[in-house]
Amino acid sequence: MGIRVAVAGASGYAGGELLRLIAGHPEFDLVAATAHSQAGRPVAAVHPQLSGLNLMLTATEPAELADADLVFLALPHGQSGALAAQLPAGTKVVDLGADHRLADAAAWELYYNSAHAGTWTYGLPELPGQRERIAAADRVASTGCYAVATVLALAPLLRSGIAAADDVVVVAASGTSGAGKNAKTHLLGSEVMGDLSPYKVGAHQHVPEIKQATGALSLSFTPILAPMPRGILATVTARPLGGADPREVLQAAYADSPFVHVLPEDVWPHTAATAGSNSAHLQATFDVDSGRIIVVSAIDNLGKGAAGQAVQNANLMYGLPETTGLSVFGVAP
């Protein structure tokens, strides 16, 4: 008998990807998947890609999760705190939502407009010392999708001192699954196909998380909705301070990280190459005209940006190899 695993919030896109990864994980046994309005329906009715997975969605209530050794929370922000508080103390929990990521309660309240639920160990294993902290934790707050793409690109630049922390500009585009599975007119296929459009310009809620995880002092962040189901491409530019080459800084930072690939020189990331995987692809250069450092990162927003990252954290929490049940290879084309 393996580790008993439950997913709360299994009807959304991150929840569906979690179910797929857990079903293929050699140490995890899926014992419960919960939802709100979809409770009572078979998993495969909500996620047709999981046809053959015979499990019913139950209601998102503590009792449904009580048997699990490990619980993944894939809930709308603001809902994890209350549920997590009702789980047994010994249950390991990975929260894919934003509730427990920020150390600064004021920043939480500013961007999320609700009470702060507390701060858990930050679930980005590729940060220095973080694997050990995650391994020692029972509660881990997994990283936000835009934050993963941005932090992996930016943190080594600032940590190594080769870029200025007070002049960072990020433009990041995401596939539509990042906007969730709720039916909204502006997310209809007819609207998004053939379209690029920015949103939440000038005030995205991932900014404080990125600043906390990188030490950036000033961050201009513009998110864009892109006509594809999955993927985030983040273009991170920063004013250089001299010192080492940014690509070499990235290579050194991720030499021991199996999911982060600094691509060969002059090869730039493609989001499609990361689809279905837990990998991040990075490349860096200097802009000829302005001299700025440009780093581009690509991830699957549902993989390294959500469900894959969460499973990676859970692997570390159980002392398993961090790649267990995850793929470094994407499904392309």
Q: How far is the CB of 131 from a second copy (least distance, A)?
A: 19
105, 123, 317 from 90: Cα distances, Å: 25, 19, 13
Cβ proximity to a second copy, 83 vs 225, nearer residue: 225
Angle at which helix 207-214 crosses helix 105-112, to 10 degrees, equals 150
Nearest Cα neighbor of 9 from 75, 68, 61 is 75
Cβ proximity to a second copy, 6 vs 262, nearer residue: 262
Q: How far is the CB of 97 from a second copy (least distance, A)?
A: 19
Q: How far is the CB of 261 from a second copy (least distance, A)?
A: 4
Cβ proximity to a second copy, 90 vs 185, nearer residue: 185
Q: Are 294 and 162 in contact (CB under 8 A)?
A: no
Q: 57 Cβ partners below 8 Å, 6+ apart?
A: 10, 11, 33, 34, 35, 38, 39, 40, 41, 42, 43, 46
Instruction: State the greatest distance between any 2 C-alpha atoms of the chain, in Å, as a whole number.
Output: 60
Cβ proximity to a second copy, 293 vs 314, nearer residue: 293
Q: How far is the CB of 267 from a second copy (least distance, A)?
A: 7
Q: What Rg do the C-alpha atoms of the chain give, in angstroms?
A: 19
Q: How far is the CB of 26 from a second copy (least distance, A)?
A: 10
β-partners of residue 134 are none
Sheet-wide strand order for 197-198? 197-198, 219-225, 163-174, 232-240, 293-299, 280-286, 260-262
The encoded tokens of residue 309 equal 């990252």
Cβ proximity to a second copy, 256 vs 289, nearer residue: 289
Amino acid at 153: A
**What residues are annotated to the active site?**
145
